[in-house]
């Protein structure tokens, strides 16, 4: 074991020292040698303020062999100037990702959930692998398994919690599964404690600091990745629109900020990400608001997008059919006074028919274009802190999965909080589901208690 433990001088302590210490030829016995590539890559574009990221010399940084397309692409594109070549690579893969996104949406909620899970696992892997590179304890046994163990445990916990909530009524019917539901938290906690004990037992003298740092690293990664992907799943259950619109907004904001930055970018926005410009930020913001508004208008018309995924007692299965809620029914709005006068002069109507969701979409687009980019700045800062260019190299022209999803996580939480604060107050339907968990005699007890309180307050006329 201790042969593998490689003593190296500290990396985490002082950012300035890192660059000198990261010697180029760093081959690990470990199968993942992505990181030696990552660490060798230079961040050489401090002074280029045109695009968001496009002008980093990608061609030399894309690790070859991960994927055949970039190689073929490079052959095709070799005569183009660098800047344009990157633009094309980036464009093609943006297009591919968008297509994939549409296919998954077409696949329905289950496909979306599985994709979320896969993305989550990839993001976790990327974050954890950076941790391994930073603390250089590739050789320490147990640790890799332990991180994954915690990932599985916390997924079991969170997905369990949400599945129990939605499929509870079904599960409750079979006695065997009832146990899994009732004891789900207990099982999760025991699994966690097991991991905790294993961690303590796996501590090796002289590596305490690194092991604790990685333990913390693992937990922060779980906090970012697992909890938020759980929120994404919860949003999907509220209706596909709550997932698709916010995700598209972030994508739109990313792309439009890049485009505006590329063509008009002059004024640097923040020192942290020297390639982000005020022009991109503002242009992206406006585009996102308009895009979100239009997209909401289109999606509000299809029950497929607006209906929450619920268990139908009548059909005996999950459904996505419903009478659309008030949010998704056209409503007449009076335009503000100063506009009315103007419109009257031209003999135009002073009211407009909108879906109320479209107004909510404004909050979402504002968040995604004002706070959203800070997710990206945070990720840039993080990458700078640890002297890495990208989180991974899965998507040519874009970096790792985490590079594309940095803003999505914050957005998912916002949407979830937004729904629970402004949209969904406990519905009678939801509470009934909870009531049906009770034993029959307790259900009856609740019925009588409810009857009494309603009669006392004269809401229900006492039956004779």
Which of 100, 286, 444, 462 is in the footprint of its own copies by CB under 8 A? 444
Q: Which of residues 360-419 bind its own copies (CB under 8 A)?
A: 371, 374, 377-378, 381-382, 384-386, 410, 413-414, 417-418
- Any idea of the CA torsion for 298, 301, 303, 307, to the nearest 10 degrees? 70
The piece of 28-36, 303-311, 334-342, 437-445 that touches its own copies (CB under 8 A) is: 437-445
Of residues 69 through 128, those in contact with its own copies by CB under 8 A are none
Q: Is 425 in the site for its own copies (CB under 8 A)?
A: yes
What is the Cα–Cα distance from 416 to 407, expressed in whole angstroms? 15
- Smallest gap from Cβ 198 to its own copies, in A, equals 10
Among 31, 68, 173, 205, interactor with its own copies by CB under 8 A? 205
Nearer to its own copies, 102 or 446 (CB): 446
Distance of CA 381 to the CA centre of its chain: 19
Give CA torsion, residues 7, 9, 13, 15, to 10 deg: -130
* Residues 153 and 197 sit within 8 Å (Cβ to Cβ): no
43 counts as binding its own copies under rule CB under 8 A? no
Task: Provide, rounded to whole angstroms, the least separation between the CB of residue 446 and its own copies.
Answer: 4
Nearest to 146 by CA among 209, 229, 202: 202
State which residue, 181 or 335, has the beta carbon closest to its own copies.
181
- Span 214-253, contacts to its own copies by CB under 8 A: 216-217, 219-220, 223
Return d(Cα 187, Cα 192) in angstroms, integer.
Answer: 9
Distances (CA, A) of 159 to 109, 113, 231: 15, 10, 10
Q: Least separation, in Å, of the C-beta of 126 and its own copies?
A: 16
**Binders in 167-196 for its own copies, by CB under 8 A:** 182-183, 185-186, 188-189, 193, 196
Q: How far is the CB of 458 from its own copies (least distance, A)?
A: 10
Listed ranges 25-33, 99-107, 146-154, 420-428: which one lies at the site for its own copies (CB under 8 A):
420-428
Closer CB to its own copies, residue 69 or residue 417? 417
DSSP labels, 31-63: S--HHHHHHHS----TT--SSSSTTS-HHHHSP
Nearest to 145 by CA among 126, 128, 120, 162: 128
Please identify, using beta-carbon distances, which residue of 351 and 434 lies nearer to its own copies.
434
Give the residue carrying structure tokens 């309603």: 454
Is residue 350 within 8 Å of residue 340, measured between CB atoms? yes
Closer CB to its own copies, 264 or 374, in the complex = 374
CB 212 within 8 A of CB 100: no
The candidate with the shortest Cα–Cα distance to 56, out of 383, 412, 414, is 383
Cα 361 to its chain centre, rounded Å, is 18
| 337 touching its own copies, by CB under 8 A | no
* Contact status: 302 vs its own copies (CB under 8 A): no
Q: Closest CB to its own copies among 98 and 417?
A: 417
Q: Is residue 14 at the binding interface for its own copies, with CB under 8 A as the rule?
A: yes
> Closest Cα partner for 408 from 99, 152, 122?
122
Question: Could you say which of 199, 230, 258, 262 contacts its own copies (CB under 8 A)?
Answer: 199
Site residues (CB under 8 A) for its own copies, limited to 126-145: 135
């Amino acid at each position: 074991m201790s042969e593998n433990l490689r003593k190296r001088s500290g990396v985490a302590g002082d950012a300035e020292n890192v660059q000198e210490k990261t010697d180029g030829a760093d081959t690990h016995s470990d199968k993942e040698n992505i990181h030696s590539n990552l660490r060798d890559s230079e961040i050489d574009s401090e002074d280029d303020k045109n695009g968001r990221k496009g002008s980093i010399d990608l061609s030399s940084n894309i690790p070859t062999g991960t994927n055949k397309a970039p190689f073929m692409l490079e052959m095709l594109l070799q005569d183009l100037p660098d800047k344009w070549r990157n633009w094309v690579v980036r464009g093609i893969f943006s297009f591919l990702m968008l297509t994939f996104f549409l296919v998954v949406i077409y696949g329905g909620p289950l496909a979306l959930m599985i994709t979320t899970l896969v993305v989550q696992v990839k993001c976790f892997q990327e974050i954890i692998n950076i941790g391994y590179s930073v603390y250089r304890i590739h050789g320490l046994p147990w640790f890799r398994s332990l991180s994954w163990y915690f990932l599985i445990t916390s997924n079991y916990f969170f997905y369990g919690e949400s599945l129990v909530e939605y499929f509870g009524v079904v599960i409750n019917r079979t006695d065997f599964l009832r146990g899994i539901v009732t004891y789900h938290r207990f099982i999760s906690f025991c699994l966690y404690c097991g991991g905790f004990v294993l961690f303590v037992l796996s501590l090796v003298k002289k590596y305490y600091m690194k092991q604790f740092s990685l333990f913390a690293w693992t937990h922060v990664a779980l906090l970012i990745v697992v909890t938020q992907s759980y929120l994404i799943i919860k949003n999907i259950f509220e209706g596909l629109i709550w997932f698709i619109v916010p995700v598209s907004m972030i994508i739109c904001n990313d792309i439009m900020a890049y485009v505006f930055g590329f063509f008009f970018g002059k004024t640097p926005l923040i020192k942290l990400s020297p390639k982000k410009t005020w022009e991109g930020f503002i242009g992206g913001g406006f585009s996102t608001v308009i895009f979100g508004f239009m997209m909401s208008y289109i999606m509000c018309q299809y029950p497929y997008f607006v209906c929450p995924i619920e268990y139908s007692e009548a059909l005996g299965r999950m459904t996505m059919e419903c009478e659309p809620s008030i949010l998704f029914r056209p409503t007449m709005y009076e335009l503000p006074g100063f506009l009315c006068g103007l419109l009257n002069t031209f003999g135009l109507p002073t009211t407009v028919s909108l879906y109320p969701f479209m107004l909510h979409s404004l909050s979402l687009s504002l968040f995604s274009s004002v706070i959203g980019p800070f997710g990206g700045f945070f990720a840039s800062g993080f990458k700078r802190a640890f002297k890495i260019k990208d989180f991974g190299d899965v998507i040519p022209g874009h970096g790792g999965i985490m590079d594309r999803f940095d803003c999505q996580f914050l957005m998912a939480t916002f949407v979830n909080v937004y729904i629970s604060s402004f949209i969904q107050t406990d519905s009678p339907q939801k509470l009934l589901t909870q009531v049906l968990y009770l034993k029959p005699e307790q259900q009856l007890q609740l019925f009588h208690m409810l009857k009494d309180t309603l009669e006392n307050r004269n809401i229900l006329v006492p039956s004779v």
